[in-house]
Structure 1
Amino acid sequence: MSSTDSPRPTHTVTAIVVAHDGARWLGDTLAALLRQTRPIDRAVGVDNGSRDGSAALLTGTLGRNAVLTLPRSTSFGQAVAEVLDRLGPAEENEWLWLLHDDCAPDDGALEALLKAADEDPGAAVFGPKLRDWLDRRLLLEVGVTVDLRGRRDTGIEPREFDQGQYGGARDVLSVSTAGMLVRRDVWEEVGGLDPFLPLFRDDLDLCWRIRSAGYRVRNVTQAVAWHAEAASRRRRRITVSGDHPRRLDRRNAMFVVMANLPSRSLPWALLRNLVGSLVSTLLFLLAKQPADALDELLALGSILRHPGRLVRARRLRAAGRRRGGAAAARLLTPPGAGYRRVADRFQSYLAGNGLVESAGRHHYAATPTQEDGEELLTDDVGATRRLFGSPGMALFLVLVAVTLVAERGLLGGSRLGGGALVPVVGGASDLWNLYVESYHQAGLGGDGWAPPYVAVLAGLSTVLFGKPWLAVTVLLLGCVPLAGLSAYTATRVMIPGRWTRVWLAASYALLPVATGAIAAGRLGTAVVFTLLPCYAALATRMLSADPRGARRAAWGLGLLLAVGTAFAPLVYPLMLVLGALAALAFPRRGLTSSVVIAFGVPVAVLLPWLVQVVSTPGLLLLEAGLHRPELVDAALPASSLLLLSPGGPGMPPLWVTGGLIAACLAALLMRRNRTIVAVGWGVALFGMLVAILVSRTPVTSLNADTRAPAWPGVPLAFAATGMLVVAALTANRIAELRRAGGLRRVVAAAVVAVAFSTPVLAAGMWISRGAGGPLDGDVRDVVPALAALNSGGGERTLLLSERDGGLAFTVLRGRTPLVGEADIPTPAGPRERVSVAAAGLASGRGGDDADVLASYGIRFVVIIPPVTEAISHALDSQPALARMSLSRAVGVWRLTQPVAVPPAPPGDPWHGRWLWAQAVLVLLVSVLAAPGSRGTDGQLRSEVPESGREPSVR
């Protein structure tokens, strides 16, 4: 007789129902137990010290002799063990059916489980498909696995409905004890539930040990049970342990994984839990969940403080481990699935911000593998297609392609610099040192505050592998695609229509302000240009009726405004004026406090440096980098400013932006949205007025004597933002004209064509001309190698150059200056004396000029192009100078007398204390600006349905 014809074994089923303050669910559970199509052979109830009538329900249904009463501190595993001790030896083919008081099985659940047991004699544990107790359509579990950090993985999306997508019986790592059917002999063989795990993850540990002993664990989707998850959802008081539930869950999760893993995987799991817990703690703090952060740390500490307990647990499990150990480990969540989940969450965030289209509901399906019939979690949805198929990401990629082609001459060089950008050298540690030191040896030395944008660049450089050149490349050369992405994302709540936002973002990203900032190396304008749409979005959110959202937006605006102010101080007064006007025009409850927060944060964070800037008002009009007269059009016509062209290198023809101006002017003819049109044009005119004033006001840069107007790029970016919002918000009227047909349809098509001409023409002109300008991707070192190699003792180098008929000088300390060093003020006295001495040497005057240079540690005098005969002859005539090199490109002289390098004065303790205070302020504001916790899925759902009563099983 074949094996398929052999009679099936006769099973004995002992049902054990454990109750603890579960009267609200227990009645339905017991009723469902008695309705089984395959009746149970015997039933035992256990009441763990309930105070709500659970014991009476058990006694009334099962009989007094079938109910045990145990203390409230008894765990589920201890309750089952007590029942088995009193029942005596196991019967042949006896099965234990474990039920929680909040788990009601379907009528045919036991029959389906036993049928699966008959079909797979190698399996020792079977579990039903679990659905939610309240919403009977929602799936909870079809088997459970974990990763190396113990993170529970059901393979089910939050609030996923059961539509039959998980069919049949399949191997899993674990099933819940809620409805678990387990062979009693196997239960006793592995020792049952671990007493060290009174609650949470005890089922995972049991199933893992059973699989390691060579048996199989199966989930049977034909069997269904409804589970309230009362303990994990905090629906009743937990008395089996004094630990907080989440802390207990995290501790048990890490303990179970590290106790059951094979030895070769243990070190990696320990490292991942250590690093992962620290990262999770930080993320919980940022998400304003300090209790969860504390639980994470205490759970990890509980494992690390008692290594002997883990060693004993591993020794016991190793004694019972047989051929199934490797098979159990293979059912852990594969790393790829974990990464895909992170990618899905990131995509959900992008979808929430309008960057990608919502993908709808999807799930991780279980698919069979080639080995042992095991099943792994795989993603059945093309996340990549959803991510890159949205208009926002498509626009970003197009702008990246346009940027790469236009900047072809700047990419791949050895050093980026030129124009307003100091050649980018050094590493992230150099920038950090520059920012934190209280006395700067660069140049002639000084104790002024380093500009805060140095800290921003240092932080970004640290993230980007310690490469400042990469950070500057991303911020400056990548400002066009970044600004487009920023504009598209920020206008999600303001501008209706995806394609309208695409036009707005493309037009904004390709404005002459952006291309001019890149060509001239204006890092400050590039950063502000990228952040400006975020300012508009956060300011709009501050005006909302949601007080919590408005307050978080205020903190976020304050933090980003501090960043923008650090790069270009002019952005602060511009935003301050607009913020004050908005507060007066749109009064809301609590708006005043939000405005105070938004504009108080930059002052608090940047205070010492901001005082340094305000003391020299002209610095408010400048930005990060060098202020060079040749980069600014001194006689910039008003027509250029009206067409949003700030002048200087990198400017397209004025007619490129004509389409944008025409579309904005057309908005004035619309009868609707007049308030919005007036506000937008008010911002535009305000920005243009400030741009005119900036372009007409000569200012003196720091550490220089030249006076020239500032570049009006930042105020023109404000003006463009107002005009673009006006045009975009009236785009719905254009759609109405198109639907009207006739002449109106022609007019609408013409307006759309004119509007779209701006980004198309701007991209075409930028590509054809390239991003060339003073900015160069392969700029040479400003300090000649001959001088740099001989400056080992910290000697300084004096650079001389002729500009506009005068003599300009710069003092360097043996190397090319770091980004930000040029913005550190030099004391007026030393600078004036060196200026007089340099002029004396260049004129051939002689005297004690060389002595002055030597007293400030200047050993080398270098002439940078153009090298004129008059200056070279004058330096040759000085007895205190010896020529080292002279060519058309550069000339180098060395002082023949001894040079004394001035020692650095002692550091200022107050400086260090403020830096720590600044770091704490930034961290605090970041936490306050971050989105708050919204709770777990179970906590967000209501306890009972709207009818006021829980549904019955049938």
Structure 2
Amino acid sequence: MTSGATPRLRTAPVLAVLVCHDGDRWLGTALSALRRQQPRPRHVIAVDTGSVDGTAKLLADASEGPDRVIDGVLTLPRGTGFGAAVHAAVEHAVQRWGDPGAWLWLLHDDCAPEPDCLSVLLTAAEVSPSAAVLGPLSLDWTDPRLVVEAALSTDASGHRQTGMGRVELAGSFRQSTEALAVPSAGSLIRRTAWEELGGYDRALPLLRDDIDFGWRANLAGHLVLSVPVARLRHARAAGRGVRRLDAAAAPPGPALRGVDRAHGLRTFLLNCGTLSFVLGLPRFAVLAFLRAIGFLLLRRFSDARAEIGALRYLLSGRARLVAGRAERPAHGVVRGLFTSRITRLRNAIRGASAALVRRRVEADLALGRLPEDDARPGAWALPSEVERPVVGPSALPAGVLSRRRPVRATGGLRRPVVAVPVEAPPGPRPSPRPRPSPVPRAPGAPGVVFVEVDRARVLWSLVLGPPLLLVVGLTVFGILANAARIGLDLSGGRLLPVGDLESTWSSYLAAWHPVAGGTTAPAPAALAVLGTVGVLVGSPATLVALLFLGDAPLAGLAAYAASRRMPVRRPVRALVAAAYALLPAATAAVSQGRLDVVVVHVLAPVVFAGVAAVLRGGAGASWLPVASGTALALAAVGAFSPLVHGLVALAALVGFVVVPGRHGDGRRRVASLFMVVLLPMALLLPWPAVVLQNPAVVLHGVGAFVASPAVGLVDLLSLRPGGTGSVPFVGFVVVGFALVAAVLRPSRSMLAGWAAVVLGGFAVIVLRTVVVAPLPGGDASPGWTGGPLVLVGWGLLWVVLSAFRRDVGTVPVRRVVSVVGVLSVVGLACAGFVGLRSGALTADGARLPSTLAQEVPSTGRSVLVLGTPTRLVAGRLPAFGDDDLVPAPTATARLERWSRDLTGGSASAARTALAQAAASGVAFVVAPDRKTAQVVREAVGELVAVTPAMSDGRPVLRVQLAAGNAVLLSPELARRARTGGNPPVELGAPGIAPVEAAPPEVGVRVSEGPEGRLLVLAAEEEPGWRAWVNGRETTIVRAWGHLVGVTVPTTASEVRVEVSSTLRELLLLLQAAAALFTFLTALPSRRRP
């Protein structure tokens, strides 16, 4: 019986090879998909590589009966690779049928091709006769809307490249493209090309065998096509680590990452050009070592092992590089199909853009907003709208149009999208175009919102997003408001000049500091913070300048990031962050050079969010980075403001008791608490001991001492700490907003903000009622309330932010509130601009005249700076951190007496004070003004000489008395020095011989002389000094009542003097260990999709 219809082929000249290995959970679906192919392959050979599950039974059932789908089953050892299995199947088919077909169709047991997959591939091969390798589009096993693999490529580092992001939509893949390779699952290979190329490389049992074969096919002149119209579902069991790689059990296996990395490098080296091969081995060795170090720092230990394992695999000879290259007739890079560095950079930029949009969408969805609320077309699509019928040229198979060759691409979307898994909103929607499926599909996949990442959306999310507008606006504010002090070397107010990296670190690590006559007290931990972070920006001085000039944008960004978990709209978060950045206490801190409060202002929101996360618990695998990161930030705060550090630690302890934890999270929560409370103490060693012993450090913070300005109750209530830099009453805007928010829209989330207000208020009361003398000396005075008021301001703004939560309800009169909020921030900005126009902080720091700037460091002589307080420093001018060193017990009173006698005492008292200062190594005296310098000159007469003034106009006087950092006294002067007498006040007094040495380490050789001579160092005598004469330890003698002295024998001798610091060095080692642990654990672990 005849019919006019075109007859349909029931079989195609194709040999299908189904390779199975412990895949019974997917094999049933794969066999069903194979049975539903139209047309079916002429022959199907299944290869079971030693499966120990139900695979053998499923294959046996599928090879029996009239409707069998498998023509034969081969059983091979468990360690057989994919390529070897295919080779065995092809050889068996040729022996059995002679000509099993012109094509080979390679299938995995975890892939299920669509019913028309083989037909589409054969049609594409017919249209493109030069095509020898064709591959379908691989879709996710559980959600066929998402693409998992398409065309493949590689780069110069041997990494597998797909050109796709984390989530790609199947609807965007339509046009066939030329590629370097296609995935092995579902690939259709011309049998003549298979035999010509020798099939898959048996030395690559798993992973990268498909790229190697496709690369060789391209070099042989064959065409490799990715045909996205042909589709299959692929579980990727081996690639996702679901299935053990038994075929790659030998090193670098069976670890997935190790095998993938090793085989990727081998594939590149075997197929690349000669020059690339010669340079590739040393290049890969260096890069693998560097990557391993980087992965170790990121705590990605499996990736680090993979890099080292891959390097050993190459260098050990097991990769057979030379022999493998000799067996291959052609080498080189296929132009247009190889992933270049520019392409990788372009993909990275696209991925970053997608990540930004993804975060934006996730934040909006958390607030109950869908991207369609933006009223922009094409912003999002429901899952049912993803698959749309394609018409026009894009619907034609490859080669139908007039172009000579298909589009060359490495695979990827021309319109990339990102997906955020959410429940789709209910409502009528058009039904998707039905596609046949080999098996009944599972219940509907979870709703996914698909967002197109086009230029408009990236512009909207990044360039016009609230975070960038916030940072740009605050940066412009900071530049304009601080225009008079822009520079990279700021000083003034509480900020003494900051040294470079070398001087900062040497000062921090030194056992003895030439400040106030010398002290063995530990240096403030703030120097370590500046020295560590200063490396990133060039110098500590640059870092300090960036902190002051960029205080507003840095604090605003920190506040915005700290509120990211709040279900509040981004514009509201940005307004609140801007208000925090412009708090009166912050602008006053910048104006007055108070670095401690600036650091608190920048880091307080971050610490607040970290402590809240620790108390909340349930952070999953990220609890360790959260706890360590919070400890790092809190340690930085504690290095500058011990008071705020103590308040946060107290809040964490109280919160741990008050805030209930989640069930089963107790141990992790306790460990996090201990890290937040105790780890910062270890990071600050040995500084905490100084803080505990000296309350002045707690109340006054770190920095040069400046008397706290008077402040009234109204100022404190308006968040104004007093002094320059802030406008009265403007802070009532923040207070009023918080009170109104608490009354009209109360919520539990406000409790954290009120807790910060209570803590800050308590600290304000303590600072204004307790008076303590500062470390450098002077009258007892209360502390400055800027730091606690920053905490109060942040707490009040947190209350305001909590009132705008979406779960609290709709904000009444929303537009009115928005206008008032914007006007309030503008008012804070105007007040801050006015306040920052004044203040002591300046970019014109004081410097010694050029002649003295060279003499003082080279000689190491001391400079006595008269003022309040009086400072004594050797080898330089006073610098940041000097006022935070605990001086020797009598040093502060002595400096005050010298200053008093030189500027207001009698002539004899002034001359005696100058002689005592000279005995302590003073070579220059800096007077606060010309009038004071004239008083000193009239009092001491010829004992001083005038030198060029400092850059800020302060006069400098040179001391003419014989002195040095170390002197040898005659027996007569030695007796006077031991008995507490005064040094000689006459010019050219005999018996003083300067020695070329300087503390803290002195080693001199003295000649024979009379008995009773004394070696005196310009260093305060205190515990820790030790001396040796001819290798025998001797007793330290106190000279001139406070200096270090050593008795010298009559014979020629070697004298060595040094200060012991064993305990301090142990504490520094412990600090370094704690810092290393914290840095490594604070790095976020890798997120896997």
* TM-score bucket of the superposed structures, by smaller chain: 0.7 to 0.9
| Correspondence list, 1:457-856, <5 A | 457-464=530-537, 466-494=538-566, 496-544=568-616, 546=618, 548=620, 553-588=626-661, 590=666, 594-629=672-707, 632-633=708-709, 635-652=710-727, 654-667=728-741, 669-670=743-744, 673=746, 680-681=753-754, 683-731=756-804, 739=812, 755-768=821-834, 770-781=836-847, 783-803=848-868, 808-816=869-877, 818-829=879-890, 836=897, 843=905, 844-845=907-908, 849=913, 852-856=916-920
Q: State the partner residue of 1:109.
A: 117
Q: State the partner residue of 2:968.
A: none
Contact residue 175 and residue 217 of structure 1 kept, 8 A = yes
> What secondary structure sits across from 1:600 in the alignment?
helix
**Superposition deviation, residue 736 in structure 1:** 7.7
1:315-368 deviation per Cα after TM superposition (whole angstroms, max 9, x unaligned): 555x4226x6444435787132243155247636864995999988899xxx99
Q: State the partner residue of 2:483.
A: 408
- In the alignment, does 2:331 pair up with 1:321? yes
What letter is aligned with 2:132?
Answer: A
TM-score, length basis structure 1: 0.85
What letter is aligned with 1:51?
Answer: V
**Superposition deviation, residue 91 in structure 1:** 6.5
What letter is aligned with 1:723?
Answer: L
Contact residue 1000 and residue 1059 of structure 2 kept, 8 A = no
Q: CA separation in 2, counterparts of 1:813 and 1:353?
A: 58
Q: CA separation in 2, counterparts of 1:639 and 1:592?
A: 41
Task: Tell me which moved more, 179-188 or 838-847.
Answer: 838-847
Contact residue 801 and residue 864 of structure 1 kept, 8 A = yes
1:42-95 deviation per Cα after TM superposition (whole angstroms, max 9, x unaligned): 333322222334345445545898433221111111222334445569979933
- In the alignment, does 2:349 pair up with 1:340? yes
What letter is aligned with 2:689?
Answer: V
**Superposition deviation, residue 105 in structure 1:** 2.0
Q: State the partner residue of 2:999.
A: 902
What letter is aligned with 2:408?
Answer: E
> What secondary structure sits across from 1:321 in the alignment?
coil
Q: State the partner residue of 2:983.
A: none
Task: Tell me which moved more, 444-453 or 367-376.
Answer: 367-376
1:645-666 deviation per Cα after TM superposition (whole angstroms, max 9, x unaligned): 00111111x2322322222333
Q: CA separation in 2, counterparts of 1:662 and 1:734?
A: 23
Larger Rg: 2
> What secondary structure sits across from 2:346 in the alignment?
helix
Contact residue 686 and residue 1068 of structure 2 kept, 8 A = no
> What secondary structure sits across from 1:14 in the alignment?
strand
**Superposition deviation, residue 154 in structure 1:** 2.5
Q: CA separation in 2, counterparts of 1:434 and 1:269?
A: 46
Q: CA separation in 1, counterparts of 2:608 and 2:531?
A: 27
Q: State the partner residue of 1:374.
A: 408
Closer, same or farther in 2 for the Cα pair 1:564/1:354, shift >3 Å?
A: farther
Closer, same or farther in 2 for the Cα pair 1:621/1:346, shift >3 Å?
A: farther
What letter is aligned with 1:884?
Answer: T
Structure 1: segments with no counterpart, 5+ residues: 1-9, 740-744, 938-954
**Superposition deviation, residue 232 in structure 1:** 1.9
Closer, same or farther in 2 for the Cα pair 1:560/1:54, shift >3 Å?
A: same
Contact residue 156 and residue 340 of structure 2 kept, 8 A = no
What letter is aligned with 2:999?
Answer: P
Contact residue 173 and residue 204 of structure 1 kept, 8 A = yes
Q: CA separation in 2, counterparts of 1:238 and 1:637?
A: 74
What letter is aligned with 1:252?
Answer: H
What letter is aligned with 1:544?
Answer: R
Closer, same or farther in 2 for the Cα pair 1:730/1:22, shift >3 Å?
A: closer
The number of aligned residues is 900
1:523-579 deviation per Cα after TM superposition (whole angstroms, max 9, x unaligned): 111111122222332333334362747776544433322221111111122224433
**Superposition deviation, residue 510 in structure 1:** 0.6
Contact residue 176 and residue 227 of structure 2 kept, 8 A = yes
**Superposition deviation, residue 218 in structure 1:** 1.1
1:841-861 deviation per Cα after TM superposition (whole angstroms, max 9, x unaligned): 555436665554455443333
Of residues 75, 80, 84 in structure 2, which corresponds to 1:69?
A: 75
Contact residue 150 and residue 183 of structure 2 kept, 8 A = no
> What secondary structure sits across from 1:515 in the alignment?
helix
What letter is aligned with 2:854?
Answer: L
Closer, same or farther in 2 for the Cα pair 1:329/1:188, shift >3 Å?
A: same
Task: Tell me which moved more, 761-770 or 922-931.
Answer: 922-931
Closer, same or farther in 2 for the Cα pair 1:646/1:728, shift >3 Å?
A: same
Q: State the partner residue of 1:885.
A: 948
Aligned-residue CA RMSD in angstroms? 3.9
What letter is aligned with 2:206?
Answer: L
1:255-280 deviation per Cα after TM superposition (whole angstroms, max 9, x unaligned): 32344344555688778866765676
Contact residue 804 and residue 811 of structure 2 kept, 8 A = no
Structure 2: segments with no counterpart, 5+ residues: 1-10, 65-69, 372-378, 387-393, 417-452, 966-997, 1002-1057
Q: State the partner residue of 1:299.
A: 310
What letter is aligned with 2:409?
Answer: E
Q: State the partner residue of 1:215.
A: 222
Q: CA separation in 2, counterparts of 1:497 and 1:371?
A: 50
What letter is aligned with 1:250?
Answer: R
**Superposition deviation, residue 883 in structure 1:** 3.3
Closer, same or farther in 2 for the Cα pair 1:361/1:816, shift >3 Å?
A: farther
Q: CA separation in 2, counterparts of 1:353 and 1:819?
A: 45
Q: State the partner residue of 1:120.
A: 128
- In the alignment, does 2:159 pair up with 1:151? yes
What letter is aligned with 1:67?
Answer: V
Q: State the partner residue of 1:916.
A: 1069
Closer, same or farther in 2 for the Cα pair 1:471/1:518, shift >3 Å?
A: same
Of residues 160, 169, 181 in structure 1, which corresponds to 2:168?
A: 160
- In the alignment, does 2:246 pair up with 1:239? yes
TM-score, length basis structure 2: 0.75
Q: CA separation in 2, counterparts of 1:56 and 1:721?
A: 67
What letter is aligned with 1:235?
Answer: V
Contact residue 551 and residue 594 of structure 1 kept, 8 A = yes
1:593-618 deviation per Cα after TM superposition (whole angstroms, max 9, x unaligned): 65444222222332421111110112
Contact residue 364 and residue 370 of structure 2 kept, 8 A = no
> What secondary structure sits across from 1:115 in the alignment?
helix
Higher helix share: 1
Of residues 78, 82, 85 in structure 2, which corresponds to 1:79?
A: 85
- In the alignment, does 2:261 pair up with 1:250? yes
Q: State the partner residue of 1:187.
A: 194
- In the alignment, does 2:203 pair up with 1:196? yes
> What secondary structure sits across from 1:211 in the alignment?
helix
Closer, same or farther in 2 for the Cα pair 1:254/1:643, shift >3 Å?
A: same
> What secondary structure sits across from 1:148 in the alignment?
coil
> What secondary structure sits across from 2:686 in the alignment?
helix
1:798-843 deviation per Cα after TM superposition (whole angstroms, max 9, x unaligned): 233344xxxx432333334554344333333556556655655555
Contact residue 834 and residue 852 of structure 1 kept, 8 A = no
> What secondary structure sits across from 2:48 in the alignment?
strand
